[in-house]
Amino acid sequence: MRFELYRDAGGEWRWRLRVQNGHVIADSGEGYVRREDCEHAISLVKKSGDASIVDMTTKIA
């Protein structure tokens, strides 16, 4: 897997996470004016390995 940093058509920084087969499995979902902010978002995703999983289908009333 690898994180790719790039600039979108509007000049903002974005990231995407690409797996071995070339598919993108996650992306930033928003653009960042500063590259440093985009890199910080990547670091947050990297640290989220211990995040809980919530089954939202059980939350629908």
| All structural domains of the chain with their residue ranges | 2-58
To the question of pTM greater than 0.75 for the whole model, the response is yes
Mean pLDDT in residue range 1-29: 96
How far, in Å, CA of 39 to CA of 21, rounded?
23
For residues 45 and 17, the answer to whether their CB atoms sit within 8 Å is yes
The pLDDT assigned to 61 comes to: 56
From 8-12, 15-19, 39-43, 56-60, the region with the lowest mean pLDDT? 56-60
Buried b (16+ CB within 10 A) or exposed e, 8-32: eeeebbbbebeeeeeeeeeebeeeb
How far, in Å, CA of 25 to CA of 10, rounded?
23
Q: 2-58 is classed in which CATH architecture?
A: 2-Layer Sandwich (3.30)
